[in-house]
């Protein structure tokens, strides 16, 4: 796993994957089978990373392309081009120094996975550029959808960028610390609301941890990035669990 120091981000749009008619047909068939197995899958817009360049210390240049969620099945197809999705996550600390993680529901694409609140980045409307604030806006949405916590893009700080072993690129933001009981109540209310509407919440449950050792006591499969970034968070010299600014 590669971790990148990031102080500035620049995005450059490139052409999408060039697939042969045969490979596109194979991809579509594989996607149809995946949807039959999990009807919750949605072929929405996603951002692919075509190249990542650490131009200078803290200066990261991201070449990206527009695609839809079905392109992810190409990873499982022999002879298909390697594709990297872009995702965002939020590190949500508590005022007593803990960090929140969630376990994905069985209805999601990654059932049972332990992760930070977050999800795949959606591409902006045609003709519009991709910006760091777009990443922040999507992170705000994920925080609300998975935790029931409302915030604004101004309160999210870009903390780290990571290339995980499968090639995906994640951008991680830190949110202002909140009381632990507030986070638990907000998620419980969200769960009740979703189930009253006949839907399963994205996070089946959440946990508050004080370090990487706590992950071993939680039922679920940690995301590839989770252990290293939890350790990095708690080893950071500057505290991130100060009262809300």
Q: What CATH number does residue 204 fall under? A: 3.90.79.10
pLDDT in tens, 191-239: 999 999 999 999 999 999 999 999 998 999 999 999 999 999 999 844 5
pLDDT in tens, 205-218: 999 999 999 999 89
> Is residue 80 assigned to a domain?
yes
The residue segments making up the domain with residue 12 are 2-235
Residue 55 has pLDDT above 60, yes or no: yes
> Is residue 195 assigned to a domain?
yes
Q: What is the pLDDT of residue 161?
A: 94
**Residue 7 banded pLDDT, cuts 50, 70, 90:** confident
Q: What are phi and psi of 71, to 5 degrees?
A: -65, -20
Q: What is the pLDDT of residue 72?
A: 84
pTM comes to 0.89
Q: How many domains does the chain have?
A: 1
> Is residue 192 assigned to a domain?
yes
> Is residue 244 assigned to a domain?
no
> Is residue 203 assigned to a domain?
yes
Cβ contacts of 177 within 8 Å, gap of 6 or more: 93, 94, 95, 240, 241, 242, 243, 244
Q: What is the pLDDT of residue 241?
A: 43
Please check whether residue 91 is in contact with residue 62, taking contact to mean a CB–CB distance below 8 angstroms.
no
| Mean pLDDT (the chain, rounded) | 90
> Is residue 187 assigned to a domain?
yes
> Is residue 196 assigned to a domain?
yes
Name the residue among 132, 152, 126 with its Cα closest to residue 88. Answer: 132
> Is residue 245 assigned to a domain?
no
Which element (helix H / strand E) includes 138?
A: helix 132-147
């Amino acid at each position: 796993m590669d971790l990148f120091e990031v102080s500035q981000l620049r995005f450059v749009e490139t052409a999408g994957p060039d697939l042969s008619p045969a490979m596109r047909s194979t991809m579509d068939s594989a996607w149809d089978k995946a949807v039959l197995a999990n009807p919750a899958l949605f072929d929405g817009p996603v951002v692919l990373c075509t190249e990542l360049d650490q131009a200078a210390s803290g200066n990261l240049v991201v070449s990206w392309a527009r695609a839809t969620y079905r392109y992810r099945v190409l990873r499982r197809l022999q002879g298909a081009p390697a594709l990297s999705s872009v995702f965002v996550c939020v590190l949500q600390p508590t005022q007593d120094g803990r960090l929140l993680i969630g376990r994905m529901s069985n209805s999601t694409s990654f059932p049972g996975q332990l992760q930070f609140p977050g999800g795949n980045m959606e591409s902006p409307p045609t003709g519009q550029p991709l910006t760091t604030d777009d990443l922040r806006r999507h992170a705000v949405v994920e925080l609300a959808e998975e935790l029931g916590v409302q915030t604004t893009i101004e309160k999210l700080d870009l903390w780290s960028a990571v290339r995980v072993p499968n090639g995906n690129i994640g951008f991680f933001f830190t949110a202002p610390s909140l009381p632990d009981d507030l986070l638990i109540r907000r998620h419980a209310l969200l769960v009740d609301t979703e189930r009253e509407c006949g839907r399963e919440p994205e996070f089946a449950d959440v946990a508050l941890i004080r370090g990487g050792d706590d992950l071993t006591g939680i039922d679920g499969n940690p995301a590839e990035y989770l252990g290293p970034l939890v350790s990095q968070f708690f080893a950071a010299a500057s505290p991130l669990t100060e009262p809300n600014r």
